[in-house]
């Protein structure tokens, strides 16, 4: 098979790689993109095995990039689900303290939530907690009405559908084995394909240190010892 020539190769079809591909495609429709993942379907790693919470930004330091990104991402995710008819439920959540020693941290989270502009956030006692969820034993809790749940596998699958429909090459079932530079190009060798790209974007989640190492990047950051 002849090499696939693209402007951008993205390694990783988890939520980060998929969303990045979609956004870049919208910003630069002429950009040729290849999205590469070793699994046969998107979101087979962390993105498909998380808690499914739509975070509202309660935990993060007020004024931080994480706080503002979380709130922006919250609004964008809900808008995406609405536009794509993907079910979600803003059911709210409880952050609980199960013992007295956790109360100072709970108070800190509450103060952060208020400072981050969450409306309706409230401190509640054990009886109110039991009314909402009888199986919880807590000394106190914070109720965060904005938090919700969604099936991130479904979100990811829709991202992949949109990317394919928009002409992005989705090379699933293609583990990246070698990465080398050749002039201005980066050559990515997978099990089944050879991709020549101007730019390589590493969205490989817990394997991103390995992809960085394959690309010859020396990093002090190392994630676990798993091999593929």
Ligand X SMILES: Cc1cc2nc3c(=O)[nH]c(=O)nc-3n(C[C@H](O)[C@H](O)[C@H](O)COP(=O)(O)OP(=O)(O)OC[C@H]3O[C@@H](n4cnc5c(N)ncnc54)[C@H](O)[C@@H]3O)c2cc1C
Q: Which stretch binds ligand X (CB under 6 A): 44-52, 100-108, 123-131, 139-147?
A: 44-52
List 60, 110, 159, 207, residue binding ligand X (CB under 6 A):
207
Is-contact 197 7, C-beta < 8 A? yes
In whole angstroms, how close is the CB of 8 to ligand X at the nearest point? 15
Strands (E), the chain: 4-11, 33-36, 53-54, 88-89, 93-97, 122-124, 140-144, 148-150, 169-171, 176-182, 185-190, 194-202
Residue 101 in contact with ligand X, rule: CB under 6 A: no
Q: How many residues does the chain have?
A: 228
List 46, 76, 217, 219, residue binding ligand X (CB under 6 A):
46
In whole angstroms, how close is the CB of 204 to ligand X at the nearest point? 4
- The partner residues of 142 in beta bridges, in order of sequence, read 95, 123
Residue 11 in contact with ligand X, rule: CB under 6 A: yes
In whole angstroms, how close is the CB of 14 to ligand X at the nearest point? 2
> How many Å apart are CA 29 and CA 205, to the nearest integer?
26
User: Which residues, 6 or more positions from 33, have their beta carbon under 8 angstroms from its beta carbon?
Assistant: 6, 7, 8, 9, 10, 21, 24, 25, 163, 168, 169
List 86, 109, 175, 199, residue binding ligand X (CB under 6 A):
175
Q: Which stretch binds ligand X (CB under 6 A): 8-16, 58-66, 97-105, 123-131?
A: 8-16
Residue 15 in contact with ligand X, rule: CB under 6 A: yes
Residue 113 in contact with ligand X, rule: CB under 6 A: no
Residue 212 in contact with ligand X, rule: CB under 6 A: no
In whole angstroms, how close is the CB of 176 to ligand X at the nearest point? 4
> How many Å apart are CA 10 and CA 201, to the nearest integer?
5
Q: Taken in order 201, 204, 209, 213, is the CA torsion positive or negative? A: negative
# of chain residues touching ligand X (CB under 6 A): 30
Residue 16 in contact with ligand X, rule: CB under 6 A: yes
List 25, 55, 112, 158, residue binding ligand X (CB under 6 A):
55
């Amino acid at each position: 098979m002849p090499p696939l020539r693209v402007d951008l190769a993205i390694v990783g079809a988890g939520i980060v790689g998929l969303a990045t591909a979609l956004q870049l495609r919208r910003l630069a429709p002429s950009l040729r993109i290849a999205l590469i993942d070793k699994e046969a379907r998107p979101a087979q790693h962390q993105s498909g095995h998380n808690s499914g919470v739509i975070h509202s930004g309660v935990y993060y330091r007020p004024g931080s990039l994480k706080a503002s990104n979380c709130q922006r991402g919250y609004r964008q995710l809900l808008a995406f689900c609405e536009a794509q008819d993907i079910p979600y439920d803003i059911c709210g959540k409880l952050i609980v303290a199960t013992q007295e020693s956790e109360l100072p941290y709970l108070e800190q989270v509450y103060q952060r939530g208020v400072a981050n502009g969450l409306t309706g956030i409230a401190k509640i006692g054990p009886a109110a907690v039991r009314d909402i969820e009888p199986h919880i034993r807590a000394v106190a809790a914070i109720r965060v009405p904005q938090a919700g749940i969604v099936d991130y596998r479904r979100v990811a699958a829709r991202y992949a559908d949109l990317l394919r429909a928009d002409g992005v090459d989705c090379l699933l079932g293609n583990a990246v084995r070698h990465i080398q530079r050749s002039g201005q190009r980066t050559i990515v060798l997978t099990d089944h394909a050879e991709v020549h790209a101007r730019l390589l974007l590493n969205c490989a989640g817990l394997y991103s240190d390995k992809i960085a190492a394959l690309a010859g990047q020396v990093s002090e950051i190392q994630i676990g010892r798993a091999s593929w």
